[in-house]
Chains A and B, each alone.
Chain A
Amino acid sequence: MSGAEQGAGVPLEKPDVSVVIPVGDDVSELAEVLKTCHAELSERGCSSEFVVVLDGVIDSVFEQAKQARPDGANVRLVRLNHPFGESTALSAGFSNATGEIILTMPPYLQVEAADIHRVLNALEDGLDMVAGHRLRRVDPIINRLQSILFNSIMRFLTGVQLHDMNCPVRAIRRKVVDDVTITGDMVRFLPIMAQRHGFRVGEAKVRHLREQGKSGFFGIGVYVRRFLDVINLLFLSKFTRAPLRFFGVAGILSMTIGTLICLYLAVDYLYLDGDPLRNRVTLIIGVMMIVLGVQIFSIGLVGEIIIFTQAKNLKEYRLFEEQEEIMLPRRSGKARRKRTERATPDASDASDASDASDASDASDTSDASDASGASDASDASGASDASDASGASDTSDASVASDASSGESGGGRADDQERTVHRVKG
């Protein structure tokens, strides 16, 4: 366990956790994200650094981002001089992050900040990458349905059992990002690619607060691109090393169909008194399919040449490194509670939430057997229930939570019974 002082200033050595936040154009909530995140991590006893990647933003946004630096937090800004997209932004963030554990976050309060503990705990329970799983989704039903559909298709196609591929909250060990490169839109498939590289991938439940970005149906182009990404993912995984097996099958299929068409026309004319070939438009289709087949097949051969000449540069396998994994101080995700005036927990919510937190804190036995466990759970559900309330009450600093028994037990620090004050906006 690496020690770090509470409320770390600018640490000289490697931080425990590097938080990478890619920013598109909206930095209005960046300060809050940094603040809550930093508070959570220092409460956990982790030193942290923040790498904010500004993906081709205009100068005024850059200036704003510079202001968003909470006291005591180690924040670095990385500015890309052109919008390159999320994958590139994240890659830039990864290469600027120095910690062994990387946490990616969206630049707005999308999920309950306290739940990053669940994600980090899951990482330490023997995983290399943990994807967040947004529960109690607050986006419109149409988006949720799309998400369920997309995720079940991906589970079916790839066998990677994740329920929320698009959640931007992820905890990743450095060795994963060193090994797996992401380009284009493939960032959402990072967990799948990590698993393919032999890393242990899992997920942790996080409470969904709100969703930014477009809701409802997306433009047709989005779906087409997503579809092509999936094809790319599946194709690359199966046939990178043997392209002719793919192109060969497709090419021979096309050639066969074309040949059959031409044969039929010839037989029809010669023996069955059909029309002469010059009157048959189908002939052109048949011949074209033969030609297409030849083309596809020969492109497969070019693919083989590329792979063959590249083969010595390809890494065909990954060795298992037996290295000691860096462990963070543990902290339960449900310890932090929030009370707002609109919190109206009901019985079913309470049981739901305690299920969720129990699942992610299974190893945290002392916490689970806490005497205040039941009230904890109902309160937690209250917080998630009132998610839109906390989103709406941005300008007030009314939502103050006091926590007498802050549930710190896994880390073994008994003196952590302090009152924690959580401000939504300072």
Chain B
Amino acid sequence: MNQAPVDVTILVPVFNEEGNVRPLARAIARVMRAEQRSFELLFVDDGSSDRTLDHLKAEAEQIPELRIIRLRRNFGQTAALAAGFDHSRGRYLVTLDGDQQNDPTDIPTLLELLDQGYDLVSGWRKHRKEPFISRRLPSLVANRLLSLLTGVQIHDFGCTLKGFRARLVKALPIYSEMHRYIPALAGLVGARVTEVVVAHHPRVHGESKYGIGRTFRVLYDLIALRMLTRFSARPLHWFGVWSIPCFVVAAAFLFITFVDTSAVTLAVYTPVVFPTVVILLIYLAFHFVVLGLLAELAVNVFRSGPRPLQSLEEARRRRA
């Protein structure tokens, strides 16, 4: 197998897309041949149970640039993308959906923007061809939240059509459902992120694999994301900060208990309520400090592996 690096890797995760893979592969190959760049076309078969793999193998005989990675079972889109990232050889990476809803003719635009120095170019499906209530509304809310909380000013975090600088995406930890948050994560660590309006076609072959339930979890993921990008290197600071208000409020209550001896306060609150609150707040304050220490311990013990965000973080600090 040719291990030489190429300019662009087009990465397509597919799961049961037997009707789509052949036309898609041909369309991408046609677009990329017109570009004056070396490329590879990397399909990740995420444990398809239909004839997707056979179709891909047949197509690989026509297109020499086509490579196939096969996962042992269906691991989900994040894992498929992670596998693709790990096995890609291009300087630039472009990801596409396997269902032909993205248009390969948008790829040159993405590459141009990457050439201009952006680290990540996200597609924006401005005119989505999907039902409003079940698909577009939840996505709208999630996108607004993401944009608000991460400060990354793009409209469509969920679009699979994205271009990356390979160096960036290989530094990011891709797990759980992190693929949805790659632009957010990238923005938070200081990468230059932009977006471009892309075409969006209605699904022709096969079935959609998403439901409405996924947007509910975005909130938890966001809280985690925000904390992680800022404080995963020094969790004691993050948790330690929380113990300050606890101590302050506890001190205030103590002060009231001892100083303000008016009859009402004494009669109504002091004997039970105030001591309870003070004790619990102090308890919480210690809880946060101890937890921060624990997190610090965990982070330092596990620091044997590569620190994913270190270089990017430093780059951001230098720029700031």
What is A's interface to B at a CB cutoff of 8 Å?
197-199, 241-242, 244-245, 248-249, 276-279, 283-284, 287-288, 291, 294-295, 298-299, 301-302, 304-314, 316-320, 322
Contact = CB atoms under 8 A, between A and B. Distances in A.
B72 A319 contact: yes
Interface string B172-210: 011111100000000000000000000000000000000
Interface of B: 47, 69-73, 75, 78-80, 82-83, 173-178, 217, 220-221, 223-224, 227-228, 231-232, 235, 239, 242, 267-273, 276-277, 280, 283-284, 287-288, 291, 294-295, 298-299, 302-308
A283 B272 CA distance: 9
B227 A198 contact: no
Contacts, number: 139
Contact of A277 (B69, B79, B268): B268
B291 to A, nearest CB: 6
Contact of A313 (B71, B178, B302): B302
A291 B232 contact: no
A312 B273 CA distance: 48
Nearest to B84: A317
Nearest to A249: B220
A274 to B, nearest CB: 12
Contact of A287 (B80, B217, B276, B307): B276
B269 A316 contact: no
Given A242-B221, A294-B284, A301-B227, A316 B174 contact: yes
Contacts of A308: 173, 224, 228, 232
B8 to A, nearest CB: 23
Contacts of B82: 316-317
A314 B287 CA distance: 29
Given A198-B47, A248-B223, A320 B71 contact: yes
B305 A312 contact: yes
A316 B302 contact: no
A278 B70 contact: no
Q: Name the residue in A197, A248, A276, A311 with the highest tally of chain B Cβ atoms < 10 Å from its Cβ.
A: A311
A277 B220 contact: no
Contacts of A278: 268-273
B227 A287 contact: no
Contacts of A309: 232, 298-299, 302-303, 307
Q: Name the residue in A197, A278, A314 with the highest tally of chain B Cβ atoms < 10 Å from its Cβ.
A: A278
Nearest to B277: A287
9 contacts: A198-B47, A242-B176, A277-B272, A277-B273, A278-B272, A291-B283, A305-B235, A305-B298, A309-B302
B214 to A, nearest CB: 11
A248 B80 CA distance: 27
B267 to A, nearest CB: 7
Contacts of A242: 176-177, 217, 220-221, 224
Contacts of A198: 47, 71-73, 75
A302 B305 contact: no
Contacts of A319: 69-72, 83
Q: Name the residue in B82, B220, B269 with the highest tally of chain A Cβ atoms < 10 Å from its Cβ.
A: B220
A311 B284 contact: no
